[in-house]
Amino acid sequence: MSEPGDCDIDDYESDDYVISEMSFSESGFGLVDIFDLIVGKLSATGLKVEEAKNKVKQKAKASVHDVREAVQNVRDDVKEAVRHVKDDMNRVNNRVKERVDQSVSQARARGKRINRSFTELRRRVITGDKKKPVREFVQEVPIVKKVDKISFTMGVLVMILSEYILITKPEKFELLFMAIILPVLFLRYHIYRSLNWGYYLIDFCYFVQLLCFIAILYPSKLLFQVLFVVSSGPLCFAILIWRNSLVFHSLDKVTSTLLHLYPALLMYCWRWTAASPGLDVMCGPGVGIDACVLEFDNWIVWSFAFYGFWQMSYVLITELDGERIRNDKTMDFAVRHLTIRESKKNKRSLYLRITRALGIMGPDELFNYEQWKTKIIFMSVQAVYTIITVVPTILLFYSETLHFAYLLLTFIVALWNGACFYIEVFSAQYLQKLQKTLEHDKIERRRLRSESSSTSTSPVRSRTTSTSATDTGN
């Protein structure tokens, strides 16, 4: 018996392990077939692997598709939620906007009603008729009206009250100043605003009123002395230049006179009243009337500094609104009024004759408020006028008699101008109005007579017509 591991051919001669002695060529099964068999097995295995791969890919694709579909669903849900939120926000915004618009419209309507009521009140106070515009009222021929009667009465009362305070209690004149000037400025503002004359309210006289109120509320030696100079000089002297008049029935004329005269009266009370608190501010505590000194800087430097500040502010304001001023021909203000008035005079204009003689203006050239040359001319004239009127104020500061005489002269001039207006202008206009009233009455009486005559003859005509109709019927 052989060892386990030995290979003996005789061991394979049994039925199960008989190897045919035929060669591979004789049995027809060679190495190629074996190779093909192996390749086939491998191919089959590869197909299975490929199928497995495809199945995995399909499952992966299905999973990716499911994920994408899920993500898309989430996106759609988010979009839908966002759309709902936007819709809700839009509805809320629309509701808020509607409520805001409704509130704004109600506020505007309420404001229009208030403005209309205020306009009617202003018209009723000024014209006596709430439906009558102030512009038409001012452009009418001046006649005696309710507002004129009120203005006349109030003007006379103001003069009497002013005289009483000046004589008995001059130290209280600043209270009267505020009580009179504040309402006057309020009325002037609303009248000029309705007439489109708003730029008159930035003239130098209104700037001085503002300084007076500041000085009353915040006393200062510098401001008091500057106010003495500009109030007693350029402002008060303007009554003589502009021919201000005490026409008591004219609210506009009385207002202009008060605005030019009252600051000078206030300075007189502050300067020459020992009991006035303004004296201690203007001259120093305990200095007294006789020892008071007008400092040179306050007299010249600061006075012209305040004037220069006003002039530059005036030019800046009017130039910033220059386009609207040029386009709106109904708007009136000092420079436009003066240039138009002087251009109409032409050769009779003192300004044109002087500027033409100096070669500044051409022989036939007229003033034009839109040109800088005209503006500079009028600013220069204003500056020269201010210098001329400021310098003598030092004499008024050191002489109570001269100061009183100066104020009395300006008051007399205002009275004289008012008398001239009443006698020469108002009386003629009043007679003209009476003639128109009489002519209107005559026309009305004729109309009534014609109507009465036609009424009296109409029954006869009707009876005649009915009789004729009856005869025709018979």
- What digits encode the pLDDT tens for the residues 185-235? 999 998 898 888 888 999 999 999 999 999 999 999 999 999 999 999 999
More confident residue, 449 or 259: 259
Residue 228: exposed, middle, or buried by beta-carbon count in 10 A (0-12, 13-18, 19+)? buried
pTM above 0.85, yes or no: no
The structure tokens listed for 409 are 């002269």
> Interior CA angle at 294 toward 291 and 297, to 5°?
145
Ramachandran category for residue 288: left, alpha or beta (phi over 0 → left; psi -120 to 50 → alpha): left
- Asked whether the predicted pLDDT for residue 15 surpasses 70, the reply is no
The CB density around residue 450, as the number of other CB atoms within 10 Å, is 10
pLDDT average, residue stretch 166-181: 94
Do residues 232 and 396 lie in contact, with contact meaning Cβ atoms separated by under 8 Å? yes
More confident residue, 423 or 308: 308
The phi, psi pair for 361, rounded to 5°, reads: -110, 150
Beta strands in 84-210 (DSSP E): none
The phi, psi pair for 4, rounded to 5°, reads: -65, 115
Query: What is the rounded distance in angstroms from the CA atom of residue 107 to the CA atom of residue 93?
Result: 20
pLDDT value of position 468: 45
Residues 6+ apart with CB under 8 A from 275: 170, 171
The structure tokens listed for 163 are 């005289």
Helix (H, G, I), strand (E, B) or coil at 28: coil
Do residues 234 and 204 lie in contact, with contact meaning Cβ atoms separated by under 8 Å? yes
- Asked whether the predicted pLDDT for residue 11 surpasses 60, the reply is no
Placement of tokens 């007693």 in the chain: 232
Strand partners, 4: 6
Residues 6+ apart with CB under 8 A from 161: 176
pLDDT average, residue stretch 176-182: 96
Q: How far is CA 304 from the centre of its chain?
A: 30
Burial call 148-168: b when 16+ CB within 10 Å, e when fewer: beebbebbeebbeebeebbee
Do residues 282 and 270 lie in contact, with contact meaning Cβ atoms separated by under 8 Å? yes
pLDDT value of position 123: 66
pLDDT average, residue stretch 89-109: 84
**Mean pLDDT score of the chain:** 81
Of the CA atoms within 13 Å of residue 463, those in its CB half-sphere come to 4
**Confidence band (pLDDT; 50, 70, 90) for 176?**
very high
Do residues 329 and 319 lie in contact, with contact meaning Cβ atoms separated by under 8 Å? no
**Confidence band (pLDDT; 50, 70, 90) for 1?**
very low
Query: What is the rounded distance in angstroms from the CA atom of residue 335 to the CA atom of residue 411?
Result: 27
Query: What is the rounded distance in angstroms from the CA atom of residue 442 to the CA atom of residue 440?
Result: 5
End-to-end Cα, the chain, rounded Å: 182
The structure tokens listed for 26 are 């004789």
- Asked whether the predicted pLDDT for residue 120 surpasses 80, the reply is no
> Interior CA angle at 355 toward 353 and 360, to 5°?
140
The structure tokens listed for 143 are 């006649």
Strand partners, 6: 4
Going by C-alpha positions, the residue among 262, 34, 300, 281 that lies closest to residue 158 is 262
Helix ranges restricted to H, 128-172: 134-139, 146-168
**Confidence band (pLDDT; 50, 70, 90) for 282?**
very high
pLDDT average, residue stretch 145-166: 88
